[in-house]
């Protein structure tokens, strides 16, 4: 599953985010959102695997973002043109609608 999560990260378009649950569902197990989060925390390469594009089901950023904390995640998202307000993104506007 780990490799599939990292492969998936590379498909997220610029200016879009996904949720942990979306990744879990895409990989075939809707209930594996927490496992996805744990996998992302072990990301070996933040530049190759853009885990900063993953938020929770309400659009909240991760307090434990592995590469510099929540401020760094906010900075990376904003660099892609994603608006972040109170450490939250508007999923109606920025959530990637995944098509299998």
Q: What CATH code is assigned to 2-94?
A: 1.10.10.10
Q: Are 89 and 15 in contact (CB under 8 A)?
A: no
Q: Are 46 and 66 in contact (CB under 8 A)?
A: yes
Q: Per-10-residue mean pLDDT for the chain, 100 residues long?
A: 95 97 95 95 93 97 89 96 98 90
Is this model's pTM higher than 0.85 or not? yes
* CA proximity to 25, closest of 46, 47, 1: 1
Q: How many CA atoms lie within 13 A of 62 on its CB side?
A: 25
Catalytic residues: 51
Cα angle 50-76-63, degrees, rounded to a multiple of 5: 85
The pLDDT of residue 65 is: 87
């Amino acid at each position: 599953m780990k490799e599939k999560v990292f492969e998936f990260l590379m498909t997220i378009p610029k200016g879009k985010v996904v949720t942990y649950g979306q990744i879990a569902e895409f990989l075939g197990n809707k209930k594996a959102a927490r496992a996805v989060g744990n996998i992302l925390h072990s990301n070996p390469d933040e530049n190759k695997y853009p885990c900063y594009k993953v938020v929770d089901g309400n659009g909240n950023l991760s307090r434990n973002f592995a590469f510099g904390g929540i401020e760094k995640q906010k900075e990376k998202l904003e660099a892609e043109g994603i608006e972040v307000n109170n450490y939250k993104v508007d999923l109606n506007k920025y959530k990637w609608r995944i098509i299998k």
